Amino acid sequence: MAMQFYASPEQIMRDRSELARKGIARGRSAVVLSYTGGVLFVAENLSSALHKVGEIYDRIGFAAVGRYNEFENLRRAGVRMADLNGLSYDRRDVTGRALANAFAQTLGAIFTEQSKPFEVEICVAQVGVTAAEDELYRLTYDGSVNDEPGRMAMGGQAEAIAGVLKSNHRPDMSLGDAVKVAVQALGSVGGEGGAARTIAADQLEVAILDRGRAGRTFRRVTGAALTALLDDGEPVVESADTPAGSADSADTAEGSDS
């Protein structure tokens, strides 16, 4: 008769946490921060097809690190929930806090009930009328949710990146200055012998929630507009973005982000 090995609930939870943390740490980092004109998302992303930053609703954006297929499924569920609530009630009833709570419940249930947790870390951001009213929520693999003070870093060496952000970030920064601070923070880790790295524009995914716009505020910053921001801090030239649930974010890969 084969003997069954016993593992305590505490050991099972520790093993699941270790699995999730290791998976998240292997991915490249992302930062989210408030600036004068809205909320900025900057992520290291070598793929032009798989987005780590996306739109959920009018004034709500999403950024994540970890396994792409897992966090993209969560984002799509958030888009469906937001659309349903906006149509059933009022568009103003769709809030970042409610979406963050829904994601937290889903992640918590997966962590406790399934053998493998989601290897993801998520930010749900809602742009306010002023920088003081911006809302940034961090969600971790076990369903924990925290309200962040205007800036946050996820994935990779997040603690070191967060330290650089804390030293240089100001809510009254221009978009150009905010992008440079974000890229400086991302490049402060991972270099040869601990040295800082230079990250090229084509290795970055950048988007904003534009505080001054009515309706949909999410815009991607790409191409010449991004290069100008990195070089000279010139104002962004808006680029059109596709709807939140469109095919450009289709789930086509299952590995960790690169």
pLDDT digits (tens, 9 = 90+) for 51-82: 999 999 999 999 999 999 999 999 999 999 99
Q: Which two tokens stand for residue 132?
A: 């003081």
DSSP E strand stretches across 69-203: 120-126, 135-139, 145-148, 151-154
Rounded to whole angstroms, the Cα distance separating 183 from 200 reads 9
* Structural domain boundaries in the chain: 12-234
Rounded to whole angstroms, the Cα distance separating 117 from 142 reads 8
Q: Which amino acid is at 53?
A: V
Contact 63, 41 (CB under 8 A): yes
Q: Measuring CA to CA, which residue among 136, 130, 129, 163 is closest to residue 150? A: 136
Q: Is residue 85 over pLDDT 90?
A: yes
Q: Which two tokens stand for residue 241?
A: 């973005």
Q: What is the pLDDT of residues 212-230, one digit of tens each?
A: 999 899 999 999 999 999 8
Task: Tell me the residue length of the chain.
Answer: 258
Rounded to whole angstroms, the Cα distance separating 136 from 97 reads 9
pTM: 0.87
Q: What angle do CA 215, 219, 224 make, to 5 degrees?
A: 145
Q: Which is it for strands 53-57 and 204-210: parallel, antiparallel or unpaired?
A: unpaired
Q: What is the pLDDT of residues 156-182, one digit of tens each?
A: 889 999 999 999 999 999 999 999 999
Instruction: State the pLDDT at residue 234.
Output: 57
Instruction: Identify the CATH class of 12-234.
Output: alpha beta
